[in-house]
Structure 1
Amino acid sequence: MAKRYCYKDLLPFAALVAMECNNVGLNTLFKAATLKGMSYHVFVVYAYAVAAIVLLPISFVSRRSRVLPPLNFSIFSRIVFLGFIGCSSQIMGYTGISYSSPTLSSAISNLVPAFTFLLAILFRMETIAIKSSSCQAKILGTIVSISGAFVVTLYKGPPIIITHAPSFSLHQPLNTPRSVDPSWAIGGLLLTAEYILVPLWYIVQVQIMKVYPDELTVVFFYNLCVSIMAAIVGIFAEPNPSAWKIGPGTALASILCSGIFGSFLNNAIHTWTLRMKGPLYVAMFKPLSIAIAVAMGFIFLGDALHLGSLIGATIISMGFYTVMWGKSTEEMDENVGRVESPTAENVPLLQGYETERAGKNMHANV
């Protein structure tokens, strides 16, 4: 029971929190690279190509060590469609960050749980039973968590703890506009479009995993598709050949880190947790990114801790754990229902086994 709890509950939880920390750092490194002139079209192509190269031998070993259905045209076409969604969302997202900041990206990502919840209902992956306490907890927790994330973003408040170390802040935008900046608005619109596509990516990925449950192979072909599609777009969007030359520095570090820790590790872990826990569970970790950005800025960069950050992080935690409670209660109810309601096919089999054993005993006694 303890091993099952660690694998089914504790491990996905810890992995997704770690990935949100990872994503905050990768977005900040990407922003620093684009400020030095790196093209985001070139970045997407190279980062996903690095991930595909790393995954090639791993996915080959994974396929040989497991019994899997054939990778037919139907499954592969779904992966290509997943790649199209991913390519579109990544280009929109990185373009939006280059126009705005990682902080704005973290703030708008708070919309993901709401969009995911709605899409999961439409695709019948989540059920609404208003009278059920678990359903009420999921709805209330989603709203509370999103509200807390916006508190962190919109309300700064007085400083509680002030540090004097000069720092580069994860929480403050890298290019905060002094007035209404058109590029900031464009960045916000592109980021919103990205986080509308992310829940759709979750839904399609879950559907693929139902028919082909091999995370590494799916993620390999997904990264390969995104890299090829992004290269086709990049040829037209970035015709300057010099932009495709990446030398040692921040740009190369951003590409390698994003390819290994983002496109490879992050996508593999999200694919695994989607199969284990479903799209809503994964989406609920998105509002944590803004609180993680604040915490990382305070601990590692010496940023001042403000009242708004503390209040918002507390609200996020309350909403987050409310949803987690609702999900765990729902899973417990489902498990109890399976145990208490044996299928009609199992009853005759059990009866047949008992009858056969009784017959053998009578024969032995004779």
Structure 2
Amino acid sequence: MGNALPYVGMVISQFAQAGNLIVSKEALIDGMSTYTLAFYSSVISSFILLPSSFLLYRTTPLPLCCDFFWSCFLIGVLGFLMKITAMAGTLYASPSLCSAILNLIPGFTFVLAVLFRMEILDFRSFSSLAKTIGTVVSILGALVATFYQGPSLLSTLSSPNLSVHFLLNQSSNWVPGGIISGICAMGASVLIMTQAFVLRKYPVELIIMFCYGCFLALLSATASLVMDEEYSTWRLNSKSRLLAVIYSGLFGNVTQLTLCAWVVRKRGPLFAASFHPLGIVIATILGVIFLQDNFYLGRYQYFFFELSYCVESTETK
């Protein structure tokens, strides 16, 4: 049971991430700012994590030192950049595409893990060979998912037109959305690696996530006051905004980030990153159901590439 918990935790985390993409897109379409959404969700998560941290670590000496707070501040800055780029990518493109591009995270994390010697690269080993091939496949697959749309598999049920669509030839925002999501994937990989180093020294996930939420709320509020021209973006005057704030705070921050931090400490950064390909399956299904997204051939092909990498990485870890 103990060995299975990291797997269960990462699956739950991917469900939380996919749902967060759906509700965030609805709130952003409704006129809410990415900064205010990040601020409200961070405040909610901080209020939840504060008492939880005291209850869980009441007998543990707290690492209240400058080095600890600087480490949490660095995680907060990286998380702020990742969250803002993720929401911006969702605003331009669909949740299924954003989730597909975020599947670059395992490849980027593997490269960083090798550079920082947290993973040993030995081409005579099946594990290293599988992860290297998977990294190349994930990068090529992300490019396919961004620039090649393909025919809609849902519309072909009612129409025989199987014309191929390349997004570069269309007046679509999916290409900038894919590029922004790619930047988010790189930032998420750096964040996972930073968490691994910090958690190795300070194994107190909830306290780190609480500090992360506080710094993220501070950065988001500052950015909103500077960047947002209208104060109406702060209003929670619609169901979509209120739902996004509550869901993002409870599941997008508390559940997803805390579970990821715990799995990173237990099994390492690459194990946690390897589950991100599952997000495309969940996000695609939810996008089709709740946002009436089309399911294109490019997403379908990319799904099998990335799912194979997920299986290989977790089995060889």
Cα 1:200/1:127, change in 2 over 3 Å: same
Matched, 1:117 2:110: yes
Identify which of 254, 259, 268 aligns with 2:249.
Answer: 259
Give yes or no for the alignment of 1:60 onto 2:54.
yes
- Specify the alignment match of 2:164 in structure 1: none
Verify: 1:216 aligned to 2:211, yes or no.
Answer: no
Q: 1:91 Cα shift?
A: 1.5
User: Which of 6, 25, 28 does residue 12 from structure 1 map onto?
Assistant: 6
Look up the equivalent residue of 2:13 and give its one-letter code.
M
- Aligned partner of 1:343 in structure 2 is none
After superposition, give the CA deviation of every residue in 1:217-254 in whole Å (9 maximum; x if it has no partner).
11001111100111111111124233212124110110
Q: Deviations over 1:246-297 (max 9, x none)?
A: 1241101101100110111111000000001111111111222222233445
From 122, 125, 128, give the equivalent of 1:129.
122
CA offset at residue 180 of structure 1?
3.1
Amino acid at match of 1:109: L
Change (3 A) 1:127 1:308: same
The one-letter code matched in structure 2 to 1:211 is K
Does structure 2 retain, via aligned residues, the 8 Å contact 1:110–1:286?
A: yes
Deviations 1:9-33 (A, max 9, x none): x211122122212211211111111
What are the Cα deviations for residues 280-324 of structure 1, in whole angstroms up to 9, with x where unaligned? Answer: 111111222222233445688898877766554444333222112
Q: Is 1:179 matched with 2:170?
A: yes
Aligned residue for 2:57, secondary structure, equals helix
1:147 Cα shift?
A: 5.2
Q: Whole-Å Cα distance in 2 between the matches of residues 303 and 88 of structure 1?
A: 27
CA separation of 1:241/1:59 partners in 2, compared to 1, >3 Å: closer, same or farther? same
**1:195-344 to 2 correspondences below 5 Å:** 195-296=185-286, 311-327=301-317
* DSSP 3-state at the match of 1:7: coil
| Inter-partner Cα distance in structure 2 for 1:102 and 1:294 | 7
Q: Any conservation in 2 of the 1:151–1:308 contact (CA below 8 Å)?
A: yes
Letter in 1 for 2:69: F
1:37 pairs, out of 31, 34, 40, with 31
User: 1: CA distance between counterparts of 2:123 and 2:248?
Assistant: 41
Q: 1:345 is matched with which residue?
A: none
Secondary structure class of the residue paired with 1:32 = helix
* Structure-2-length-normalised TM-score: 0.86
Matched position secondary structure for 1:280: helix
Structure 1 letter corresponding to 2:262: W
Match of residue 91, structure 2, among 77, 90, 98: 98
CA pair 234-132 structure 1, distance change in 2 beyond 3 A: same
Alpha-carbon deviations, 1:40-68, whole Å to 9, x = none? 11111111111111111111112214x34
What code does the residue aligned with 2:2 have?
Y
Bigger drift between 282-291 and 95-104 goes to 95-104
Deviations 1:137-195 (A, max 9, x none): 2223344455566667746557499889xxxxxxxxxxx999334x5444333222211
The alpha-carbon distance between structure 1 residues 209 and 285, as it changes in their structure 2 partners (threshold 3 A), is same
Q: Any idea what SS the aligned residue of 2:129 has?
A: helix
Change in Cα spacing, 1:180 to 1:298, as seen in structure 2 (3 Å) is: closer
> Is residue 163–residue 304 contact of structure 1 (8 Å, CA) maintained in 2?
no
**Number of residue-to-residue matches in the alignment:** 308
Q: Who is 1:356 aligned against?
A: none
1:18–1:146 distance in 2 versus 1, CA, 3 Å:
farther
For structure 2, the residue ranges without an aligned partner over 5 or more in a row are 159-166
Q: Tell me if structure 2 keeps the 8 A contact 1:145–1:318.
A: no
When normalised by structure 1's length, the TM-score is 0.75
Is the CA contact (8 Å cut-off) linking 1:52 and 1:223 kept in structure 2?
yes
Q: Percent identity?
A: 31
CA distance in 2, matches of 1:54, 1:199: 26
SS in 1 for 2:2: helix
Structure 2 vs 1, CA of residues 309 and 246 (structure 1 numbering), >3 Å: closer, same or farther?
closer
2:45 pairs with 43, 47, 51, which one? Answer: 51
- Cα deviation, 1:79-127, whole Å, max 9, x if unaligned, reads 1111011112212221222233323311221221121111111111111
What code does the residue aligned with 2:191 have? W
Q: Contact between 2:89 and 2:177, CA under 8 Å: does it hold in 1?
A: yes
After superposing the two structures, state which structure 1 stretch, 134-143 or 183-192, moved more: 183-192
Deviates further, 111-120 or 95-104: 95-104
